[in-house]
Amino acid sequence: MNNLFYTTVLSLVMLLALFSMQVYTVDMAQAEEKDPLTNISIIRQLLNLTLFEYNNMNYTGASDLVDIAYIDNFEFIEEPLEKQDEELMETTEEMIREKLSGLIDDKSSYSEVESLVNQIEENLNKAEVLLNKDN
Task: Report the distance separating Cα 135 and Cα 129, nearest Å.
Answer: 10
> pTM of the full predicted structure?
0.77
| Mean pLDDT lowest among 31-40, 59-68, 115-124 | 31-40
Q: Where are the domains of the chain?
A: 2-132
Nearest to 85 by CA among 44, 130, 117: 130
**Residue 21 has what pLDDT?**
57
pLDDT of 31 strictly over 50: no
Find out whether 92 and 123 touch, Cβ atoms under 8 Å. Answer: yes
**Residue 45 has what pLDDT?**
96
Q: What is the CA radius of gyration of the chain?
A: 15
Task: Report the distance separating Cα 59 and Cα 20, nearest Å.
Answer: 21
Taking the domain 2-132, which CATH number applies? 1.20.120
pLDDT of 12 strictly over 50: yes
Query: In the predicted model, what is the mean pLDDT of residues 12-22?
Result: 62
Query: In the predicted model, what is the mean pLDDT of residues 79-108?
Result: 97
pLDDT of 50 strictly over 50: yes
**Residue 133 has what pLDDT?**
81
pLDDT of 8 strictly over 50: yes
The 10s digit of each residue's pLDDT in 111-134 is 999 999 999 999 999 999 999 986
Nearest to 39 by CA among 82, 98, 80, 87: 80
Percent of the chain residues topping a pLDDT of 90: 71
